[in-house]
Amino acid sequence: MGRLDDRVALVTGASRGLGEGIARHLAAEGAVVVCGDVLDATEVASSLPASPSGRKSKAVHLDVSDTAEVDQVAADIGREFGSLDILCNNAGVAQPIAAVVDTPDDVIQKVFAVNVYGVIACTRAAARIMKERERGRIVNTASQVGKVAWPGWGVYSASKAAVIAVTQVTATELAPWNIQVNAICPGTMMTNMTRTGFTGGLREGENLEEALGQKGASIPMKRLGTADDVGNMVVFLASDECSFTTGAAINLTGGEMVSF
């Protein structure tokens, strides 16, 4: 038996990276996973094991910045599966490395539309269903830079600080319906987003793999984080083992960040 047998989960940004890792770990614990993404997540969804009752995971197109689509996807999940037990607000976009004063409007608008407005829109839609059943778990992917901003990542940092704030307030507002809301704050993870970010910050003649290796060596636990690390944490937060934690922003950084 899995810790999440036949619970229904929506994972945004599930086609790759941390989202794929989250989806795989939820399914391994028995959940039915709806893999939402603007990219095609069919390959991920079709590779997930069926739930104990035989229900299969599926992929759906989901632009989290589109309120109408978010509401429709959530309503469809409620009708098809009868519940929505777990929401993982993982979809996110990075920014080209730049000082805040040099960041153009379109980048600011895109980062906040996906990273902040998307979290709010999906939380709002999922909570409507969860409140009816008086049960639910929402896990938001924030970032260590939402606690201490990095130069060159100011807009992204601000968006992740907003995710932490949204986590705290919705945890308080939804607690009467037994809905727990928590955030994970990953450190430097081995993902395509990280590789792209490091590529943009390389000095002339610097090698990407060497830069990533040096970054991993600088972390107290001597490695970068992985999608498996995030997936394992999400499973715990979504499970019955985690019954009295809400409004938390949990560091998952290997010691790279140890602040509150």
Question: What pLDDT does residue 13 have?
Answer: 98
What confidence score (pLDDT) does residue 199 get?
Answer: 67
Nearest to 200 by CA among 146, 156, 257, 141: 156
Give the active site residues: 156
- What pLDDT shows up at residue 118? 98
Residues of the chain with pLDDT under 50: none
Instruction: Give the integer Cα–Cα distance in Å for 99 and 114.
Output: 20
Question: What does the pLDDT read at residue 190?
Answer: 87
User: According to the model, what pLDDT value does residue 209 have?
Assistant: 82
Contact 62, 90 (CB under 8 A): no
pLDDT value at residue 202: 67
* Residue 6 burial (CB count, 10 A): 16
Which pLDDT does position 239 carry in this prediction? 98
Which pair of structure tokens corresponds to residue 5? 């047998």
Task: Classify residue 229 as left (phi > 0), alpha (psi -120 to 50) or beta.
Answer: alpha
Please return the burial class of 231, using the count of CB atoms within 10 Å of its CB with bins 0-12, 13-18 and 19+.
Answer: buried
